[in-house]
Chain A
Amino acid sequence: MCTMIVQQVTIAGSGKGREGWFAVKQANVSYDHPFHAPFEHALNIDFVDEAQGPGARVAVELSAEAARSLVQTIQAVLGEAEAGGHI
């Protein structure tokens, strides 16, 4: 926990974890040490359902550059869907 930079956001959707799909209720977004990505710090997102315990987690660990690119892409896709009347 060397940066302690973390925020939580309530979300709705599904994630596929070790034991299959489950409803994700919260996303925990941190910029701290990753477990696997080969960086000192990474933008970590854990999609979780805390009520189901620590194992109900879908994790990604991204470089800061990749995370910014992902944010832009998500915004672009949502914008396109909105423009097309899908949202």
Chain B
Amino acid sequence: MYETNMYEGMLAETVTMTGTNGDIINAYYARPLGPGPFPGMVVIHHMPGWDEWYREATRKFAHHGYAAISPNLYYRAGHGTPEDVAATVRAAGGVADAQAVGDIAGALHFLKAQPILNGKVGVWGTCSGGRHAYLAACRAPGFDAVVDCWGGRVVMAESDLNDKYPVAPLDYTKDLSCPVLGIFGADDHSPTPEQVAQHEAELKKHGKVYEFHMYDGAGHGFFYYDRPAYRQQQAVDGWQKIWAFLEKHLV
């Protein structure tokens, strides 16, 4: 908890890191100044891309005492404005799950190698980033906590599976190796409350440690203050749930 007589500083910058198949990709890394030790967070951007909101979110984690890194999962689509790059990825049907998991694992290893780290790393994302965070927590060993904010397509129909998405994240639940916090809106269409209930049932079935919160009066993306979907009370409470969960499992 920050108090007004405490020193506070932060360094935030673009760095390079090793992702899937040894590819070098870029990432945004924000960390508190000081010797640490700090817990780590991998911050997974949403479908609209590696954008300003995600830079702010990365710095928000650093402000709360986490060494936070946000890998650019769209690096291989070329460079331009975040929207133009994200539109390119959208046209290509998104990034393959295996590639995303490899890049997120790379970000995990980047943090684990930092001398300021306390040894623990979480992963968080919203929208497609929430899905990617959950997927990575199931597929990449080493995470200590995962936060999925309204990740759609965790539950997938058989007809939606293809080379890029060969297995629904739900079906990897048995391999989840850390506690999960889920933040959802009751008015969301992806995931729907029914899909969230299915996800919860799967976690329960496999005896996983989880905490799900479903907010009434909120739809998809209710943390995004720059979108009509923003819901102030639900967003403030959701962030409080995130900080409490991470403090319990990472600090």
Contact = CB atoms under 8 A, between A and B. Distances in A.
Contacts, number: 77
Interface centre among B91, B128, B160 (most CB of A within 10 A): B91
Interface in B171-222: 189-190, 219-221
Nearest to A57: B84
B81 interface: yes
B80 A54 contact: yes
B108 interface: no
Contacts of A35: 48, 83, 86-87
A38 B227 contact: yes
A14 B89 CA distance: 22
B229 interface: yes
B94 A4 contact: yes
Contacts of A30: 90-91
Interface in B134-187: 152-153, 160
A28 B77 CA distance: 15
Contacts of B47: 1-2, 32-33
A54 B85 contact: yes
Interface stretch (A42-50, A68-76, A79-87): A42-50
Contacts of A38: 227-228
Contacts of A59: 83, 87
B88 interface: yes
A33 B224 CA distance: 13
Contact of A1 (B85, B88, B94, B229): B94
Given A2-B47, A33-B127, A40 B220 contact: yes
Dominant SS among interface residues on chain B: loop
B190 A3 contact: yes
Interface range, B side:
20 to 34
Interface in B75-108: 77-81, 83-91, 93-94
A40 B88 contact: no
Nearest to A17: B84
Contact of A53 (B78, B86, B93, B219): B78
Interface in A5-28: 6, 8, 28
A33 B57 CA distance: 19
B213 to A, nearest CB: 19
A40 B229 contact: yes
A54 B78 contact: yes
A4 B127 CA distance: 12
A84 to B, nearest CB: 35
A4, A48, A50: residue with the most chain B Cβ atoms closer than 10 Å:
A4
Given A1-B47, A54-B77, A54-B87, 18 more contacts: A1-B89, A1-B90, A1-B128, A2-B153, A2-B220, A3-B190, A33-B48, A35-B86, A38-B228, A40-B221, A46-B91, A48-B91, A53-B78, A54-B80, A54-B85, A54-B88, A55-B80, A55-B84
Interface of B: 47-48, 77-81, 83-91, 93-94, 127-128, 152-153, 160, 189-190, 219-221, 227-229
Sorted nearest first, the 5 A-B pairs with minimum C-beta distance are A54-B80, A28-B91, A2-B152, A54-B84, A1-B94
